[in-house]
């Protein structure tokens, strides 16, 4: 092969690899919401643009962390709720303590079925 052809193939391969990495990193999006009250903590971790499959979420604040069970995507989305309210827990929210949120911020992460983080976001929680 000529040097020009080798160089062109190498550049094409590098460009293709970088394009796939950039696409993969930008594919999954996450939205994290949280709220504290004097007697309650709650949070939600929602993912979009996900490949079909099973995912879980981790919701963390300060030294506190809770992980949801695996959920299957609906379309390209998956939603997780975390709450200290017994009624919401009975409706499927992952239980957390009423004083779970510490320092007014929380981090939500979405993990694939292998435990790899596919998206994460830290937000300031609403205080009511």
φ and ψ at residue 19, rounded to 5 degrees: -65, -40
Mean pLDDT of the chain, nearest integer: 86
Question: For 115, which DSSP code?
Answer: S
Name 91's Cβ contacts closer than 8 Å, sequence gap at least 6. Answer: none
* pTM for the predicted model, two decimal places: 0.79
Q: How confident is the model at residue 11 (pLDDT cuts 50, 70, 90)?
A: very low
Give the domains, in start order, of the chain with CATH numbers: 28-127 (2.60.40.10)
Task: Say yes or no to pLDDT of 120 above 50.
Answer: yes
Report the half-sphere exposure of 14 (CA within 13 A, side-chain side): 6
Instruction: Give mean pLDDT, residues 34-51.
Output: 97
**How far is it, in rounded angstroms, from Cα 35 to Cα 110?**
19
Q: How confident is the model at residue 74 (pLDDT cuts 50, 70, 90)?
A: very high
Sign of the Cα torsion 117, 121, 127, 128 reads negative
List C-alpha distances in Å: 128 to 31, 64, 80, 94, 123. 20, 20, 21, 21, 16
φ and ψ at residue 56, rounded to 5 degrees: -130, 170
φ and ψ at residue 99, rounded to 5 degrees: -110, 30
């Amino acid at each position: 092969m000529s040097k020009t052809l080798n160089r062109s193939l190498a550049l094409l391969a590098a460009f293709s690899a970088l394009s796939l990495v950039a696409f993969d990193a930008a594919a999954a999006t996450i939205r994290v919401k949280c709220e504290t009250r004097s007697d309650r903590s709650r949070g939600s971790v929602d993912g979009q643009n996900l490949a079909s499959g099973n995912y879980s979420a981790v919701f963390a604040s300060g030294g506190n962390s809770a992980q949801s069970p695996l959920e299957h995507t609906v379309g390209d989305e998956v939603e997780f709720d975390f709450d200290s309210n017994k009624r919401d827990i009975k409706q499927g929210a992952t239980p957390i303590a009423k004083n779970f949120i510490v320092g007014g911020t929380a981090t939500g992460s979405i993990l694939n079925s292998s435990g790899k983080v596919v998206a994460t976001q830290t937000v300031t929680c609403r205080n009511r």
